[in-house]
Structure 1
Amino acid sequence: MSQSDYTLVLPAFTIGVHAYDAIGKITWHFGKKVVIIGGKTALEKAKQPLLDAIAKTDLQVLGVLWYGDDATYEHVDRLLREQAVQDADLIFGVGGGRAIDTCKVVADRADKALFAFPTLASNCAPSTALAVMYKADKSFAGYYYLNQPPVHTFINMAIIADSPFKFFWAGIGDAMSKECESELASRAAEHFHTVLLGRAIGKACTAPLLQYGEQALDDFKANKITYALQQVVLDIIISTGLVSNCTTGGSEYYYNSSLAHMFYNASTVLPQVVEGHLHGEIVAFGVLVLLTYDKQFELRDQVAALYKKCQYPTTLADLDIKADEVDSIVDAAPALTEWTCVPEPMTKEVFKKAIMDADEFGRSL
């Protein structure tokens, strides 16, 4: 890293069934006027609890807006034209990753303070200084880098536990990538303080998923808010977010993802994949691709054992990808950020072999 002056802002959070009760004491010095932006289902679940909590403060709600149907710049531009957004001091972003990522870009461009209210435990978007943006056709558009993550993330466990099971299930698949990706991407890098910190926190990401993942999924299905469930929710939203913030340095460095997300981002060229499968579900198979490439076979066996118990994809067929479509994925990969997030130069042949070998392994299970 060339410069000695830099700022690192790490996520702050409140978690629990009464998490929204902390809104007043966290937001008081950022202003009074709030606009709430979120997904339709998310707002159905969280709007009233949010309004009830806000009523106990001196905050004023200027509007409740739908973010759109995806994290696109078209929706960002539309929201920036809203009077409530222009007049607000604070933006409350409510929903899943794409809703909150949209709110991040809106808040950044409008120079407003953003607070995140995840209604799903599906990824680390509520705590990262990065937005994943898409084109109108659902294909990957690129990353939008911010100077800091949301000011504070409020994780209401009652709302999380009442969300669709499939998103929590996919969230575990997405979180499974964080340790192995950040370690691989930064392996040959200069390990200065912030990267060292990210690598150390990364070691707290995989083990809890292997230890508590199956139990947390069972508890979630039973709508029981348990210790195991909360450990996994914190892993998905906060632990991975901490790693992301330590391993993403904008134009200076990027060690936040590697082959697992390269597989996901490249696979968005196949309509049946992106339309029929969830982000974390696809990334989960990408983890097997990475571990195969990196010859981490012992860890791959442990991860695959959880996958088989909990119905995660272990083959290309599980993602509706035919063998003759793999070249399309491989051809899309060199244009992606992750192409260089490996210690040795990547080639299409090496990436394709890792995919096909991971598929062969999965079919042998």
Structure 2
Amino acid sequence: MSQQVYLPSYSIGEDVYKRVPQICSNYGKTAIVIGGEISLSKVKDKLLIAMKGTDIKLLDFIWYGGNATRENIERLKNMKTVQMADMIFAVGGGKSMDTCKALADMLKKPVFTFPTIASNCAPVTALCILYGKDKVEFYDAQKPAIHCFIDTKIISNAPIKYLRAGIGDALSKQYEVCFNTRGRILNHTNNLGVQIAKDCSERLLQYGVKALDDAQKNIVSDEFIQTVLTIIVNTGLVSVLVNLNYNSSLAHSLYLASVKIPDCKGHMHGEIVSLGVLLLLLVDKQLIQAEKVYDFNQKLDLPTSLMDLGIKDVKQIIDLILQDKYLSFAPYNITKEMIKEAIDILETLKHKKTF
């Protein structure tokens, strides 16, 4: 049985848009730029300057619709300029990226990504998370974006909440993947992804605090670059290489459960996942790592208990967590008693202020 693996590529720096004509010209002469309203305003002038005097024409700059939904994808599919374009340039954060990746996959068009925030690995993954009413759909495109253009200056100027959430989301990759693949015999592709995953959380624990501090001062430091690359590229490579069944565990189970709780609506994906990391580590009795992450979350003002997310009904959240099908790939059966014990530990620590 044959296997195809499409790996993402990327450029990073403050002048990466100058590389767009060289990298994209082999894929067509026209592009449609799709993203969030603020994100489009951040890249528009830079892209227009980069395309000036080249063979690539930007047909239009279009708002993606505000959420990654089937409805917004269908609306974009029916636009004449989208149909005319040879390429799709996806701009912004996770939801606009996922909208564009799914759109490009359905239309069989090449897609290039231009992240304006570092909130997750969506710019380099094939997986698209689409939202419906109180549900989440995983749409797996055939391949990731052809190339990702990471403008560090634009990302350093973004609201700090996105980088904080990006760190929280990426923090889960090492722990979830290594947990779900424990004791398994893996093929080459999955094993390669696991090896990359083993470095994700450690790099964030090493560079994350300084990176966030520098970002608040709009400083593009080495720590900032290392952190952005870990959020977007390292975790993205793992998502591409590792089977979806091994990519998600208890940390993301908490997020999927929280989607159904109105009080959590104001919290970002990565914030919620970072608390899920603590639950996973405590359930798995990785107490040294749990203490590291707990201290790290405190320093970054990430959640350390359910009360930080406004979740009051513990029984409800546990029942919702256990509905996640990806928990079945854990190396052992995770019970409600295990999760309740982990939650109780975090609630106790919230009052003690120390691990």
For the aligned pair, the TM-score class normalised by the smaller chain equals over 0.9
Partners of 2:12 and 2:350 lie apart in 1 by 36
Answer yes or no: is the 8 Å Cα contact 2:275–2:303 preserved in 1: yes
- 1:258·1:342 contact (CA, 8 Å) conserved in 2? yes
Aligned mates of 2:348, 2:128 — CA distance in 1: 34
Measured against aligned partners, the alpha-carbon deviations of 1:217-259 in whole angstroms (never above 9, x if no partner) come to 11000001110100000000000001111113xxxx5211111
The answer as to whether partners of 2:89 and 2:112 remain within 8 angstroms in 1 is yes
Q: Distance in 1 between matches of 2:196 and 2:63?
A: 34
What residue number does 2:287 align with?
Answer: 297
Q: Does residue 244 in structure 1 map to residue 234 in structure 2?
A: no
Aligned match of 1:57: 54
Instruction: Please say if residues 261 and 338 of structure 1, whose CA atoms lie closer than 8 Å, have aligned partners that are also in contact.
Output: no
Aligned to 1:35: 32
Aligned to 2:261: 270
Distance 1:108 1:45, change over 3 A: same
- Cα-Cα RMSD: 1.5
Provide TM-score, normalisation by structure 1: 0.93
- Which residue does the alignment assign to 1:355? 343
Aligned positions, number: 353
- Residues 315 and 363, structure 1, Cα contact 8 Å, conserved in 2: no
> 1:89 aligns to what?
86
Q: Does 1:131 align with 2:131?
A: no
Q: 1:363: Cα distance to partner? A: 4.1
Distance 1:61 1:167, change over 3 A: same
- Give the AA of the match of 2:80: Q
User: Within 5 A, what are the aligned runs for 1:91-106?
Assistant: 91-106=88-103
**1:194 touches 1:246 (CA, 8 Å); kept in 2?**
yes
1:165 is the counterpart of 2:160: yes
Partner of 2:248: 257
Sort the Cα spacing of 1:363 and 1:195 in 2 relative to 1 into closer, same or farther, 3 A: farther
In 2: Cα distance, 1:132 partner to 1:120 partner: 17
- TM-score, normalised to structure 2, is 0.96
2:67 aligned residue? 70
Change (3 A) 1:315 1:335: closer
Which of 319, 325, 345 in structure 2 is aligned with 1:331?
A: 319
State the partner residue of 1:208.
203
Q: Which runs of 4+ in 1 moved over 6 A?
A: none
Residue matched to 1:319 = 309
Give 1:121's aligned residue. 118
Percent identical among aligned pairs is 42
The CA distance in 1 between the partners of 2:347 and 2:135, in whole Å, is: 24
* 1:223-242 equivalent positions in 2, closer than 5 A: 223-242=218-237
- In the other structure, the counterpart of 1:307 is 297
Alignment gaps of 5+ in structure 1: none
CA distance in 1: counterparts of 2:346 and 2:51, whole angstroms = 49
Q: Which amino acid in the other structure matches residue 58 of structure 1?
A: D
In 1, distance between residues paired with 2:68 and 2:129?
Answer: 7
Instruction: Give the 3-state SS of the residue equivalent to 2:246 in structure 1.
Output: coil
Q: Is the 8 A contact 2:136 2:256 kept in 1?
A: no
Q: Structure 1, residues 108-154: CA drift from partner, whole Å, max 9, x if none?
A: 1111001010000000000111011111x4x3322101121111000
Once the two structures are superposed, residues 188-239 of structure 1 have per-residue CA deviations (whole angstroms, 9 ceiling, x without a partner) of 4331101110110012211111111111011000001110100000000000
Partner letter of residue 178 of structure 2? E
